[in-house]
Amino acid sequence: MTEVKQDFVKFEQVDKSYDGEFLVVKGLDLDIAQGEFLTLLGPSGSGKTTTLMMLAGFETPTNGEIYLDGNPISNIPPYKRGIGMVFQNYALFPHLSVYENLAFPLKVRKTPEEIINEKIKQTLAMVSLSDFSNRMPAQLSGGQQQRVAVARSLVFDPQLVLMDEPLGALDKNLRESMQYELKHIHESLGVTVVYVTHDQSEALTMSNRIAVFNDGYIQQLSNPNDLYETPVNSFVAEFIGENNTITGTVKEISGNRAKVEADTGETVIANPIAVSSVGEKTKMSLRPERVSINPSDLENKFEATVKEIIYHGDHTRVRVNILNDDQFILKIPNSNDEIKLNVEDKVQLGWSGHDCRALDF
């Protein structure tokens, strides 16, 4: 088995500025392994698309260098990079049929006609559009167009495929089924994929690793599980999934246990992740599903008032007022032994100190 290159794509201290005053991407260091599905996730304006465009060659880094398979590529024009790309609006050539769209990258490479036919047949079969090769793009549904765009980016066997919010224009159901389809294509081909999205559930579903962008920096780079369970700062905690935030001041730290005085005066036991000294302000992050009702033996126990109950099918969301915060959310799975709650009920809520992560303020 050949060794997997850990730095198949390498960003080294890359800066990017459009106007010479404001840096959109700041000192970016990022290694992408061969065969990896890496997602760049972040709100709009966070620098994720700029990063992708620099990799594709449509933008040049202001500073630093990007390496592809060990070679610097900043001075190589996009058409010589051999990178496949899928665009948000599909970018299918409207005057060419599906077949001609797929043949375009192959004809540019002067591939013989028989091989073109063979490749297109295979690729269309992969996205289950074998019968559509003579259609024009306008005759296809959004999902079909997207699959053609994916097929077109893969048909010339690129080592690296970039996807810029490719599912953004699809409806929810189609988006979810396309997520799985893309994931399976990635697994079966072993191609390296760099994927840009602002949809965190999409990122969590598909990726090997996720780089969360904000403000031109990567805030956290880790696998989906760690990203959700152990966010390293409050931006990531709030951006990924649902999150309850309790603000307070650190009173005591010993190992992975800290006593924090909440703004309302109560003492909360927390896990010190991004705080190191007594007296620091902190935002504590707590996932809604880590909160239990009427707990028996948890470090943190407080009384709460139920404000709102929303039925969600597989679970119920309950909004409560606790520690003088009425935006506190908990999720209760809908099972047989459900607890009957009514609005304005008083309940005891509790959580473990380990799940309550004290992050930067």
Partner 1 sequence: MNNPIRTSDGELLSVKLKKAESNKRNIAFLLVMPLLLFILVAYILPISQMLQRSVDNTQMNSLLSETYKVIQDWNGEELPPEEVTKVFYNELKYLAENKLHGKIAVRLNYEKGGFSSLIKKTVRKLDSFDENENILDQFIKVHKRWADIDYWLALKRATVPYHFRKYLASFDMIQDFDGSIKRLEEKKRINVTLWLRTIFVALGVTFCCFLLAYPIAYLLSVLPTRYSNILMICVLLPFWTSLLVRTSSWMVLLQTQGVLNDILVSLNLVSDDNRLELMYNMTGTFIAMTQILLPFMVLPLFSVMKTIQPSLMKAATSMGSTPFNAFRKIYFPLTYPGISAGSILVFVLAIGYYITPALVGGSKGTLISNRIAYHMQSTLDWSYATAMATILLVAVLIVYYIYNKVVGIDNMRLG
Q: Which of 35, 78, 241, 295 binds partner 1 (CB under 8 A)?
A: 78
Q: Which stretch binds partner 1 (CB under 8 A): 66-74, 85-93, 119-127, 176-184?
A: 85-93
Contact 40, 202 (CB under 8 A): no
Q: Which of 1, 22, 75, 80 binds partner 1 (CB under 8 A)?
A: 80
Our finding on whether 354 is near partner 1 (CB under 8 A) is no
Single out the residue of 266, 240, 237 nearest to residue 358, CA to CA. Answer: 237
Compute the least distance from the CB of residue 21 to partner 1, in Å. 18
Q: Quick check: 111 binds partner 1 (CB under 8 A)? A: no
CA distances from 258 to 27, 115, 354 (A): 33, 65, 10
**Of the candidate residues 105, 166, 224, 353, the single one contacting partner 1 (CB under 8 A):** 105
Binding mask 126-165 for partner 1 (x = CB under 8 A): --------------------------xx--x-----x---
Which is closer to partner 1, CB of 102 or CB of 185?
102
Query: Most distant CA pair in the chain: distance in Å?
Result: 76
Looking at 42, 84, 143, 272, which residue binds partner 1 (CB under 8 A)?
84
Residues, the chain, total? Answer: 361
Residue whose CB is less far from partner 1, 95 or 312:
95
Q: Nearest 10 degrees: CA dihedral of 320, 322, 324, 327? A: -40
In the complex with partner 1, which residue's Cβ is closer, 82 or 142?
A: 82
Residues 213 and 197 sit within 8 Å (Cβ to Cβ): no
Q: Which stretch binds partner 1 (CB under 8 A): 33-41, 50-58, 248-256, 349-357?
A: 50-58
User: By rule CB under 8 A, what count of residues binds partner 1?
Assistant: 27
With CB under 8 A as the contact rule, the residue among 109, 281, 312, 354 that binds partner 1 is 109
What does the DSSP assignment read for 181-237? HHHHHHHHH--EEEEEES-HHHHHHH-SEEEEEETTEEEEEE-HHHHHHS-SSHHHH
Query: What is the dihedral sign for C-alpha 207, 209, 212, 216?
Result: negative
Residue 186 in contact with partner 1, rule: CB under 8 A: no
Instruction: Assess contact for 208 and 215: CB atoms under 8 A.
Output: no
Q: Alpha-carbon distance 148 to 111, whole Å?
A: 20
* Shortest Å, Cβ 107 to partner 1: 9
Residues 114, 115, 120, 121: is their CA dihedral positive or negative? positive
58 binds partner 1 (CB under 8 A): yes
Residue 56 interacts with partner 1 (CB under 8 A)?
yes
Determine, following the binding rule CB under 8 A, whether residue 112 of this chain makes contact with partner 1.
no
Distance CA 229, CA 17 (A): 33
Interaction between residue 94 and partner 1 (CB under 8 A):
yes
Residue ranges binding partner 1 (CB under 8 A): 56-58, 77-85, 87-89, 91, 93-95, 104-105, 108-109, 152-153, 156, 162
